Amino acid sequence: MVVANQKGGVGKTTTTVNLAASLALHGARVLVIDLDPQGNASTALGIDHHAEVPSIYDVLVESAPLSDVVQPVPDVEGLFCAPATIDLAGAEIELVSLVARESRLQRAIQAYEQPLDYVLIDCPPSLGLLTVNAMVAGAEVLIPIQCEYYALEGLGQLLRNVDLVRGHLNPDLHVSTILLTMYDGRTRLASQVADEVRNHFGDEVLRTSIPRSVRISEAPSYGQTVLTYDPGSSGALSYLEAAREMALRGVGVRYDAQQAHARTQNGQQNMAEGIQ
Ligand code: ADP
Ligand code: MG
């Protein structure tokens, strides 16, 4: 599941780590792939990501096996993280000249042999090659939308990129899930944005929305998700409920790497011009 929105600060990372922890607490085996050079997801999961740590950069650029960089998340059984270090900031440019530059993450996931129920990929706030790698590797896209003015601006571009990747490299890719984040029920603006998003996307929007919560924003500074930091808080309960809703909808179908790989063999060539 690709967690994407090229806008920064909309709750991508928060959603990735808290949904992942919720799914793991429900008993699933979950891998979080941190694809943002800032490494916020790694921090929030309590995973060391200083410059020397083997990271997703090594996987994408140096072709290291994913298993060399995956670390278990402390405190949450069944939850794992492939961290990002600052090296990843250069990857966007370094990838340009590499073979199969759009499908390097997909290949790495395909070669990963540990059993997993979900892979959540936390994207950077851009639509460059890192996000394209995520979309080629993924089965579906989750878009967090912050309930603020301008929330829908730029979404068209994101949806066009999903279409482009689907057209060339990953025919099954689709936006399966929209999650409303930082929802403040007391403001008219929040409910107006929520209505607009629900009118536009319909069933893809999870019924559960994530409230604005201080506990959610505090948790990362303790290297924790809100699920372990304050399990009874409204933020923790809303992410648990969102995860349950996703699981019950059958979202997050088991990733069939072999099949995905076979599908992308053809699209590889046409892709470059489209995305550039
Ligand atoms: P992105 O990854 O899209 O840039 P983040 O997940 O990092 O966004 O969230 C941006 C900021 O908003 C962070 O400081 C985060 O702690 C805060 N935040 C995210 N979700 C909530 C929420 N539901 N309530 C309060 N603060 C939140
Ligand atoms: Mg982020």
Measured from the CA of 122, which atom of ligand 1 is nearest?
Answer: 2
Ligand 1 mean position, distance from CA 213 (Å): 10
The residues whose Cβ lies within 5 A of ligand 2, an ion, are 12-13, 40
Q: Which of 2, 10, 14 to mutate to test the pocket of ligand 1 (most atoms within 8 A of CB)?
A: 14
Dump pLDDT digits (tens) for 202-211.
Answer: 999 999 999 9
* Distance (Å, whole) CA 42 – CA 80: 10
Domain, as residue range, for 263: 2-275
Closest CA to 171 of 111, 276, 261, 275: 261
pLDDT at 25 over 90: yes
Question: What total number of domains does the chain contain?
Answer: 1
* Distance (Å, whole) CA 54 – CA 183: 36
94 or 269: which leads in pLDDT: 94
Measured from the CA of 40, which atom of ligand 1 is nearest?
Answer: 7
Dump pLDDT digits (tens) for 225-260.
Answer: 999 999 999 999 999 999 999 998 865 444 444 444
Report the pLDDT value the prediction gives residue 1, as an integer from 0 to 100: 97
15's enclosing H/E stretch is: helix 12-25
Mean pLDDT of all residues in 195-200: 92
Task: Residue 263: count other Cβ atoms within 10 Å of its Cβ.
Answer: 16
Task: Residue 48: count other Cβ atoms within 10 Å of its Cβ.
Answer: 13
The CATH code of the domain that includes 228 is 3.40.50.300
Dump pLDDT digits (tens) for 142-183.
Answer: 999 998 888 888 899 999 999 999 999 999 999 999 999 999
CA 225 to mean position of chain CA atoms? 15
Report the pLDDT value the prediction gives residue 251, as an integer from 0 to 100: 53
